[in-house]
Structure 1
Amino acid sequence: MENVKLAGFGKRFLAYFIDGILLSIVFSIVLIPFGGILGFMGMKAAENGGEMSDEAAVATAAMAGLSVGGIILVALVVPIIYDALMTASTKQGTLGKMAMKIKVVKETGEPLNTSDAFIRAVLKSILGSACALLWFVCLFNKQEQNLHDMAVKSLVVSAE
């Protein structure tokens, strides 16, 4: 793709940071009720002098396990779905990318399809979690691509 202005590491990092803040706010709003449920269950136990029947203890442990498991699942899956759907949309990027006026395109300049956007989002999540240094790969190649970009042959470019 000729005559395209690549986004650069700084804009990409700020977009990722903005998305992290937005997702944190959403998670806080959505997950607060889980804390309330667990707190209520703990108060019920305290009313009984800390004594619980075996059935109540099992129910409390199961609810706590489901809540924590749900929180972990949401924290892992929602960012991937958000990234993939936003990148595959007509906006071609997340809210953070839109704020930074950058977008994701194929090396040919076409928008990413949903499967490429999903693969990119999954790899971005896995590789970013595995080793933060992998975020700096884009500093060492001509097309400023990270590994998740290379896998689906995408570029992050200026949307202006």
Structure 2
Amino acid sequence: MSNDQPPTGPPPDEDPLRKRPQEPKEPGGPTPPPGNGPAAGGSSPYDSPYGGTGGAYGAGGGGQPPGYDAGAYGGPYGGADPLAGMPPLAPFGKRVLARLIDMIIVFVPLVLISLFFGGIEGTYGGDDWDEVADRVNSGEQWLWSLITLVAYIGYDTIMTAKNNGQTLGKKIMKLRTAMLNDGRVPDVGSSFLRAAVLWVPALVCCYCIWWIVIVITVLTDKPYRQGLHDKAGKTVVVSAAQ
């Protein structure tokens, strides 16, 4: 009979705390739910847009922001929810305030430029409606409309694409524009399309009516609160609060 004592503790292969390699999944096996593992290639597209690693929107966030239910909506056509792990959708009131701030930021320089060139005539004397029509349809008026259009579209496009999806208004209100499918910052093409759909009708033909249409679509769209400009750019507006 051998006097050797059996080794203390479980054999190495039976250590319950040992990290073992993952077994390859069989075809047709269960698919893990989104958001429970690391994104391919490292960090998730829903990590903080200001740098760093960790959970969604902030180092050490550890997952979804408080109060946001990733499965509350369900994805389009019954698929996975593209907002899983995304911060909460932006409140409508904050979106309106952010848009008003941006409009003022662009409007004030335009007014100063117009004053430098003699101002834009907003009143007409007498009852000569032909004269009014001639002035409205003049080349000078069309040129000014084009300058205004370029200013608003350019501002929205550049700020959205080059500033983490934030215009100055959105930055003040702690919001940002993100691509719906993966949360990344919209590229120049998506930002331009979004801005063009928003501003061309508003400044060229439809004026107040177009803003009413935008407001209605944001309020009634389910589940992502997309206005027509958001749908054109495939974007969504979310909270960027830290």
| Class of the TM-score when normalised by the shorter of the 2 chains | 0.7 to 0.9
Equivalence for 2:211: 132
2:162 matched to 1:89? yes
Aligned partner of 1:6 among 86, 89, 102: 89
2:18 matched to 1:18? no
Instruction: Give the drift of 1:74.
Output: 1.1
Q: Which has the higher contact order (CA 8 A, sep 6+)?
A: 1
Superposition RMSD in Å = 2.4
* Superposition TM-score, scaled by structure 2 size: 0.51
Summarize the alignment of residues 64-79 of structure 1 with structure 2, pairs less than 5 Å apart: 65=138, 67-79=140-152
2:233 matched to 1:152? yes
Alpha-carbon separation, structure 2, partners of 1:90 and 1:21: 19
The structure where helix makes up a greater share of residues is 1
Equivalence for 1:32: 115
Instruction: Give the letter for the 2:166 counterpart.
Output: G
Alpha-carbon separation, structure 2, partners of 1:116 and 1:122: 10
Structure 1 unaligned runs (5+)?
39-64
Alpha-carbon separation, structure 2, partners of 1:8 and 1:128: 22
Q: Structure 1 residues 6-15 or 131-140, which shifts more? A: 131-140
Alpha-carbon separation, structure 1, partners of 2:240 and 2:118: 40
Alpha-carbon separation, structure 2, partners of 1:104 and 1:71: 29
* Superposition TM-score, scaled by structure 1 size: 0.76
Aligned partner of 2:194 among 120, 127, 151: 120
Structure 2 unaligned runs (5+)?
1-82, 122-137
Alpha-carbon separation, structure 2, partners of 1:69 and 1:146: 28
Larger radius of gyration: 2
- Contact 1:80–1:118 (CA<8 Å) still a contact in 2? yes
Alpha-carbon separation, structure 1, partners of 2:238 and 2:202: 20
